[in-house]
């Protein structure tokens, strides 16, 4: 399958990943980064571009995992993508991280959930039974025991939200889930494929208007809220 020349990166979780998609062939790098995304992402970009013998100006678009996810990670990914795109005069393609999680599977119906901390999860549901992905539940943040209900059954659950909130989510979606992969995380390789589709459809944006998808504004409990929770 042919493609454009797409550079993609993701820093939305504790993993950092970069991928280069050229003529249907992928080159990628990924590492468990912890808090070192800002140290790792640009060397990874250099490595995949060198491996593909490409300069930034030869790319068609630069994509990033837009969120939801780690606030700091999303800012890093967006900022790096913007900087590279400005320098190369190329469009940016923001890709939802939960959709990238879904795209990594071979399932038709996917419930993608990432841990959002503070007792909450980031959640979205997608269905590609009749072709391209359709959004059944748009990305949202919620308590796992109050998560939106799914239409029908035969859903595959993916993402570390299932590892952190396994019992509550399985109870919430009893008889809905056929399989769960709690170790899955968003990866730049799947962002690259999704971004290629968006770029071909003319949905890239100028670097100046590319934004993360935060979902919520609050990132931590206040001191009084922590005391009230104990």
In the chain, where are the structural domains located? 5-96+186-209, 105-181
pLDDT tens-digit map of 122-180 = 999 999 999 999 999 999 999 999 999 999 999 999 999 999 999 999 999 999 999 99
Tokens of 7: 């550079």
153-168 in b/e form (b: 16+ CB < 10 A) is eebbbbbbbbebbeeb
- Residue percentage of the chain with pLDDT more than 70: 93
Query: Residue 180 and residue 168: Cα distance in Å, rounded?
Result: 14
What CATH architecture applies to the domain 105-181?
2-Layer Sandwich (3.30)
DSSP letters for 124-168? EEEE-TTSS-EEEEEEEEE-GGGPPPPSSS-EEEESTHHHHSHHH
Cα(125)–Cα(123) distance, rounded to whole angstroms? 7
**Mean pLDDT across the chain, nearest whole number?**
93
Report how far residue 68's alpha carbon sits from residue 213's, in angstroms, rounded to the nearest whole number: 5
- C-alpha–C-alpha distance, residues 206 and 92, integer Å: 6
The closest alpha carbon to 203, from 190, 194, 213, 212, belongs to 194
Indicate the burial class of 129 (C-beta count within 10 angstroms; 0-12, 13-18, 19 or more): exposed
Considering the entire predicted model, what is its pTM?
Answer: 0.92
Instruction: Compute the average pLDDT of residues 113-119.
Output: 96
Nearest to 170 by CA among 151, 160, 157, 152: 157
- DSSP code at position 81: H
- Please indicate whether the domains covering 5-96+186-209 and 105-181 agree at the CATH topology level: yes
Instruction: Write down the pLDDT at residue 216.
Output: 80
Q: Name every residue whose Cβ is closer than 8 Å to that of residue 27 and which is 6 or more positions away in sequence.
A: 19, 20, 48, 51, 52
Could you please state the CATH topology (level 3) that the domain comprising 5-96+186-209 is classified under. Answer: Nucleotidyltransferase; domain 5 (3.30.420)
């Amino acid at each position: 399958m042919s493609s454009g020349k797409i550079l993609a990166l993701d820093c939305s979780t504790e993993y950092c990943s970069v991928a280069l998609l050229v003529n249907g062939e992928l080159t990628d790098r990924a590492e468990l980064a912890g808090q070192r995304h800002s140290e790792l992402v640009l060397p990874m970009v250099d490595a995949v571009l060198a491996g593909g013998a490409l300069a930034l100006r030869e790319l068609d678009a630069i994509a990033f995992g837009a969120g939801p996810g780690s606030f700091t990670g999303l800012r890093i990914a967006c900022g790096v993508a913007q900087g590279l795109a400005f320098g190369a005069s190329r469009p940016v393609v923001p890709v939802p991280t939960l959709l990238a999680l879904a795209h990594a599977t071979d399932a038709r119906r996917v419930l993608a959930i990432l841990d959002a901390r503070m007792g909450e999860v980031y959640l979205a549901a997608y269905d590609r039974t009749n072709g391209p992905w359709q959004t059944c539940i748009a990305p949202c943040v919620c308590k796992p025991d109050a998560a939106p209900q799914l239409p029908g059954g035969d859903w595959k659950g993916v993402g570390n939200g299932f590892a952190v909130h396994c019992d509550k989510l399985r109870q919430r979606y009893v008889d809905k889930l056929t399989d769960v992969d709690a170790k899955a995380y968003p990866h730049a390789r799947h962002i690259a494929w999704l971004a290629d589709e968006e770029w071909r459809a003319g949905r890239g944006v100028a670097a100046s208007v590319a934004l993360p998808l935060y979902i919520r504004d609050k990132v931590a409990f206040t001191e009084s809220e922590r005391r009230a929770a104990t």
